[in-house]
Amino acid sequence: MTQKLKFSLQRRQVVHQILENRGDAAVVTGIGNAVHDVASANDDPKNMYLAGVMGGACMVAFGIALAQPDRRIIVITGDGELLAGIGSLATIGVEQPENLFIIVIDNQAYGATGNQHTHTGRGVDLVGIAKASNFKNTALITNEKELQAQIPNIYQKPGPYFAVIKVVSKSSPRINAPKDGTYVSRRFRSAVAGEDA
Amino acid sequence: MGIQPKIVLDRRTVVKEILKDRGDLLLVTGLGAPTWDAAAVGDHINNFYLWGAMGGAALTGLGLALAQPNRRILVITGDGEMLMGVGGLATISVKKPPNLAICILDNQRYGETGMQETHTQHGVNLSKMASGAGIKNTSIVYTKNELKKAIPIFYEETGPVFVNIKVTDKPAPMTLPPRDGPLLKNRFRENLLGHI
Amino acid sequence: MALKKKTSWSNAVFKTLKENNVKQIAYVPDAGHTSLIEKAIDDNIVKPISLTSEQEGIAVLSGAWLGGDAGALLLQSSGVGNIINMLSMANECRFPLLMLVTMRGEWGEFNPWQVPMGQATQAVLEASGVIVHRAEEPQDIAETVEAAAKLAFEAGRMVAVLIGQRVVGVKDWAK
């Protein structure tokens, strides 16, 4: 039976708020809505948009975090994408990278394929799974006040960090984020690792 | 994270105890040591042993449980195997099969490849993973007494149930059950369904 | 026949990886890679990553390269089956990718369940756009890894070195 809880946060506004003062943090987005949410804030060269490979966002970010220990790496992804690679949390939980921050925009739906229900609306607790995977800094955010309180944890404290933000299930408009993997990845690498990498 | 209790249980003894009064339990075992453990108790026509497909044991149990709602299904597998398919716990919890029990023999090691440490040696807690995935009946077993209390859970409590049993990393003899896939499948089905 | 510990080729292979600036080594444990894994863990510069499933490794190494680190994935042929869709990212983005695959299911294999992926590994990798090299003799392995590393990191390709089961050693099931 699906939970019919009412959430109020709008995904696009949430993501824009989080990224407002991102400084030189790099961002990795999971496929689907997250790409458009992040790109619409600013098509920053330090954004790595994944247009495929569901389940890979956290691990891509983890690889970057290991390569760039002095830079904050933020993952913005969806609940369905995360679930497809949920074992990643255990891999990351063992390694405890201090510069990795995972933010899950949880609309309890697979946005890119017709808004079918995901497991999070049916009893699956992603924060619980993160805690079980050895994450010490976790949060469940359901309203504006909680969001404001958590933003300093993303930018001022060490990670690894895992937060789930419950949002209304409506998808926001798609925008034209670059889809060419070679372009996005080279641009990112130059911006993050330097031109001589 | 608190100090972990001492791990004392012997895997062979545990599995023997669990299967002692198995009745018409259908058993699926994950690859490696859990399969040898079940074979050590004795080959049984209601056992389906995985010799590969790492990550697939619990989900195999799910399919069987959904196909046979009037039978009790137990999956016995290891921590490494469960971790490789840990997303499956979310899939299982959403389906809520009342007749499915999952037992993890957690020695915190990859037993078949040289006893390398798994993630459960470093703070990852599978029974909390199962809770996070939405499985309501989860527990962790360290002692003989806790094991005694856990056994009825496998057989009688409404599923899905998930019990993580910590066992020592003492290697046990490799007792090998049949490994021929079609043989295992045909004998299991013929016994269960009356045809192959 | 007991499991042969071929540590000498592991030494030469690890040296090759270091010379090619490999900084991240991701793996799901495999007996054939035991020695390489230990070296990765002991090394001061290499970051070893223990994965719950092999597809995580393709993603990690993609991230590593995005961040400026070269990496390698150690896995068994059965694990190749787990990585296929994740390869599409390395393919589409032209990420360099170096994989060392210890083979099962092809030489003296006891476990029939290993045979499907053992037999399919080369075809599946090639169908996914990966260039496949094979090393069937211990003395060839390091040289083959060197060639593969150059193809990967200098020519920007996905490359897998399949280390033959004959070299790794047949698992002793009667121990």
Q: Would you call B88 an interface residue with chain C, using a CB distance cutoff of 8 Å? A: no
Query: Which pLDDT belongs to residue A4?
Result: 52
Question: What's the average model confidence in pLDDT over A52-79?
Answer: 95
Homologous superfamily, domain B11-193 = Thiamin diphosphate (ThDP)-binding fold, Pyr/PP domains (3.40.50.970)
- B90 and A130 in contact by Cβ < 8 A? no
Residue B52 to residue C52, Cβ atoms within 8 A? no
pLDDT tens-digit map of A108-124: 878 777 777 788 888 99
Q: Which chain C residues touch B if contact means CB-CB below 8 Å?
A: 28-31, 34, 37, 50, 52-53, 78, 82, 111-114, 117, 173, 175
Q: How many structural domains is chain C composed of?
A: 1
Query: Which of C53, C78, C80, C117 is the best mutation test for B, with the most CBs of B within 10 A?
Result: C53
**B131:A119 CB<8 A:** no
Return residues 91-130 of B near C (CB < 8 Å): 110, 112-114, 116-119
pLDDT tens for A2-59 read 455 678 899 999 999 999 999 999 999 998 889 999 999 999 999 999 977 889 999 9
CA closest to A28 among chain C residues: C63
Question: pLDDT tens for residues C112-137?
Answer: 888 999 999 999 999 999 999 999 99
- Chain A's closest residue to C66, CA to CA, is A189
Mean pLDDT of chain A, nearest integer: 91
Q: Which chain A residues contact residue B94 at CB under 8 A? A: 119, 122-124
Would the CB atoms of B117 and C31 count as touching at under 8 Å? Answer: no
Name the one residue in this structure whose structure tokens are 């939405």.
B134
Segments forming the whole domain that contains residue C43: 23-167
User: Which region, left, alpha or beta, applies to residue A134 given φ > 0 means left and ψ of -120 to 50 means alpha?
Assistant: left
Closest Cβ–Cβ partner in B50, B86, B114 for C29:
B114
Contact B184, B190 (CB under 8 A): no
Q: How far apart are CA A163 and CA A143, in angstroms?
A: 13
Contact C52/B84, CB-based, under 8 Å? yes
Among chain A residues, CA nearest to B133: A124
Residue A106 amino acid letter: D
Q: Which residue has the tokens 């020592």?
A: B168
CA C156, distance to chain mean position in Å, is 17
User: Coil, strand or helix: which one is A39?
Assistant: helix
Percentage of chain C lying above the pLDDT 70 cut: 93
Spacing of C-alpha C111 from chain mean position: 21
Q: Using 50, 70 and 90 to split pLDDT, how confident is the model at C171?
A: low
Report yes or no: A103 and A18 within 8 Å, Cβ to Cβ.
yes
Query: Domain containing C35 — which CATH number?
Result: 3.40.50.970
Give the β-pairing of B116-117 and B109-110.
antiparallel
Q: What is the pLDDT of residue C129?
A: 97
Which residue carries 């972990």 as its tokens?
B4
> Structural domain boundaries of chain B?
11-193
Q: Which residues in chain B are contacts of C29 at CB distance < 8 A?
A: 110, 113-114, 116
C74, β-bridge pairs:
C27, C100
Q: Which fold has domain A11-192?
A: Rossmann fold (3.40.50)
- Percentage of residues in chain A having pLDDT higher than 70: 96
The helix or strand, by DSSP H or E, that contains position C159, with its residue range, turns out to be: strand C158-163
Quote the CA–CA distance of A96 and A135 in Å, as a whole number.
8
pTM of the full structure = 0.87
Q: Which residues of chain B have pLDDT under 70?
A: 1-2
CB-based contact, C82 to chain A, within 8 Å: no
SS3 for chain B, per residue?
A: CCCCCCCCECHHHHHHHHHCCCCCCEEEECCCHHHHHHHHHCCCCCEEECCCCCCCHHHHHHHHHHHCCCCCEEEEEEHHHHHHCCCHHHHHHHHCCCCEEEEEEECCEECCCCCEECHHHHCCCHHHHHHHCCCCEEEEECCHHHHHHHHHHHHHCCCCEEEEEEECCCCCCCCCCCCCHHHHHHHHHHHHHCCC
Do A56 and C94 lie within an 8 Å CB cutoff?
no
Q: Structural domain boundaries of chain A?
A: 11-192
Please state, in angstroms and as integers, the Cα–Cα distance from residue C126 to each residue in B126, C121, C134, following that order: 36, 8, 13
Supply B31's token pair: 């690859």
Does residue C109 form part of some domain?
yes
Test B52 with C37 for CB contact under 8 angstroms.
no
Report the pLDDT value the prediction gives residue C4, as an integer from 0 to 100.
Answer: 46
Picking from A64, A91, A95, the nearest residue to C67 by CB comes out as A64
pLDDT, tens digit (0-9, with 9 covering 90-100), for C39-78? 999 999 998 988 888 998 998 998 899 888 899 999 999 9
Tokens of C115: 């045979």
C84 contacts A119 by C-beta, under 8 angstroms = no
In a domain, C163, yes or no: yes
Predicted pLDDT at B2? 63
